[in-house]
Chains A and B, each alone.
Chain A
Amino acid sequence: MKGDLVAGVHADRDVCIGAGMCVLTAGAVFDQDDDGIVVVLDEHPADVAAAREAVANCPSGALSLTEE
């Protein structure tokens, strides 16, 4: 889309171990449900850098980011 990045955030809830690193790193993008499992709050975050960091830091590899 003419150079501007649109990032799509995905979480695999079966893989998530509930470590909460994503909430710490990008609290506007991720939350944990009552069971501690990740919930994506914002699938197309404005702060792509924070989302990318959260994806890189997720210990279980549950998160991914697609950039179109």
Chain B
Amino acid sequence: MVPIHMQRAGFDPAPELAELRAGKGIKRIRTAFGMEAWVVTRFADVREVLSDPVRFSNARLQEAGRAPGLPPVSPEERARQLAGNLLAADPPEHTRLRRMLTPEFTVRRMRRLEPRIREIVDEHLDAMERHGPPADLVAEFALPVPSLVICELLGVPYADRAEFQARSNRQLDLSHAVEDRMRAARESRAYMAKLVAGAQADPGEDMLGMLVREHGDDLTPDELVGIASLLLLAGHETTANMLGLGTLALLRHPDQLAMVRDEPERVDAAVEELLRWLSIVHAGTGKMATVDTEIAGQRIAAGDLVMCALPTANRDPELRTHPDALDVTRGGAGHVAFGHGIHHCLGAPLARMEMKIGFPALLRRFPGLAEVPGTAEFRSFSIIYGLTSLEVTW
């Protein structure tokens, strides 16, 4: 059973969650790990939780005792698992780590990457064309493009991707046994530790090389492994699912698709609207209340777990009129698809760039793109929503 805050109805949040938003706004639920948590559904309440790292801690969540059913892990291994993971850190630790990475993700820096991203997109469209219809859009386009981009950026050999893609899938898919997911996490760390050791011996021009060269003294090897693992995982799963699910959304809204394809000046807004409408990250990381407090009129006790339902927040009538309509002409940045507050997605400028290039290029290359009916498969158990496959023809 998928926990309620991760339930979806196709592109939409689960009806039960939307009802909750219209009513009380907050509810006690059980997470995938069997812990009790509050789920917060309204835009304003979600922003309030996400923007206050003092009242709502990410790091404290990790000390909150183990979820029932998880095999024990030694404190040393636990500390190693958490080192360098920005999502598991509060200020000032979070600030220290994030500041080392921000230079690599500025808007200007992303513009410099633009030609290379275009090349990667074109190469994959060429391959799809050679392959001929039908093709699996996820396997041929949505997944490999961001994968190659983040591999190059970080300095991870692209040849290893099949291996770590399988691992990251096992880590994020909640339908896999806990032991299996933990084993995958360990294997990922071991793989990344090897790469980090290589970068330390001979730092290249990529991001791992930069981190070693400029921050080698401030970062432990465990922290380097943690940072790189998080970036690799996040760079893979998120944009890939936006490209896959976003294409399906456009195919099912042909008038919107035509605008994205034929009116380049609309692409920025279209990407924002797709981000808002799809909200592929259901809840981000949970937070732990550090003090007794109140959200949506509900008393929250110190130590309580709080999850923010990003899909319902982004479909809140307070944020947009007719929030459930996909209208690419009106997109704006004021949504929480990338989260909000200090943990706002570090890779957002990169993700935006990949989508702004990817969607129009795909739609222009294959103006007759159509889904093969009945092949779209939603991945409902994953922490990041999307499609496992989508057969297309042209």
Instruction: Answer whether residue A6 sits at the interface, using C-beta atoms and an 8 A cutoff.
Output: no
Instruction: Answer whether residue A5 sits at the interface, using C-beta atoms and an 8 A cutoff.
Output: no
B106, B340, B346 pick with most chain A CB within 10 angstroms:
B106
Q: Are A35 and B99 in contact (CB under 8 A)?
A: yes
CB of B275 to closest CB in A, whole Å: 12
Residues of A contacting B99 in the complex (Cβ-Cβ under 8 angstroms): 18, 35
Q: Which of A31, A36, A53 contacts B334 (CB 8 A)?
A: A53
- Our count of residue pairs bridging A and B at CB distance below 8 angstroms stands at 65
Q: Are A17 and B105 in contact (CB under 8 A)?
A: no
B99, B334, B344 pick with most chain A CB within 10 angstroms:
B344
Those of A38-67 within 8 Å (CB) of chain B: 53, 56-57, 59-61
Those of B53-106 within 8 Å (CB) of chain A: 95, 98-99, 102-106
Q: How many B residues are at the interface, by size bracket?
A: 20 to 34
Q: Are B106 and A18 in contact (CB under 8 A)?
A: yes
Q: Are B103 and A60 in contact (CB under 8 A)?
A: no
Q: Are A57 and B102 in contact (CB under 8 A)?
A: no
Residues of B contacting A18 in the complex (Cβ-Cβ under 8 angstroms): 98-99, 102-103, 105-106
Knowing A24-B107, A60-B341, A61-B51 touch, does A35 contact B333 (C-beta < 8 A)? no
For the complex with contacts A19-B348, A20-B349, A36-B105, 8 further pairs of A-B residues with Cβ separation under 8 Å are A18-B106, A19-B346, A23-B108, A24-B107, A32-B102, A32-B106, A36-B103, A61-B51
Instruction: Answer whether residue B332 sits at the interface, using C-beta atoms and an 8 A cutoff.
Output: yes
Knowing A17-B98, A35-B102, A59-B342 touch, does A23 contact B332 (C-beta < 8 A)? no
How many angstroms from the CA of A60 to the CA of B106 in the assembled complex?
Answer: 15
How many angstroms from the CA of A60 to the CA of B340 in the assembled complex?
Answer: 7
Instruction: Answer whether residue B386 sits at the interface, using C-beta atoms and an 8 A cutoff.
Output: no
Instruction: Answer whether residue A34 sits at the interface, using C-beta atoms and an 8 A cutoff.
Output: yes
Residues of A contacting B334 in the complex (Cβ-Cβ under 8 angstroms): 53, 56-57
Q: List 26 A-B contacts (CB under 8 A).
A: A17-B98, A17-B102, A18-B98, A19-B348, A20-B348, A23-B107, A24-B107, A24-B349, A25-B333, A31-B108, A34-B103, A35-B102, A35-B103, A36-B104, A36-B105, A36-B106, A36-B109, A37-B102, A53-B332, A53-B333, A57-B334, A59-B51, A59-B341, A59-B344, A60-B341, A61-B341
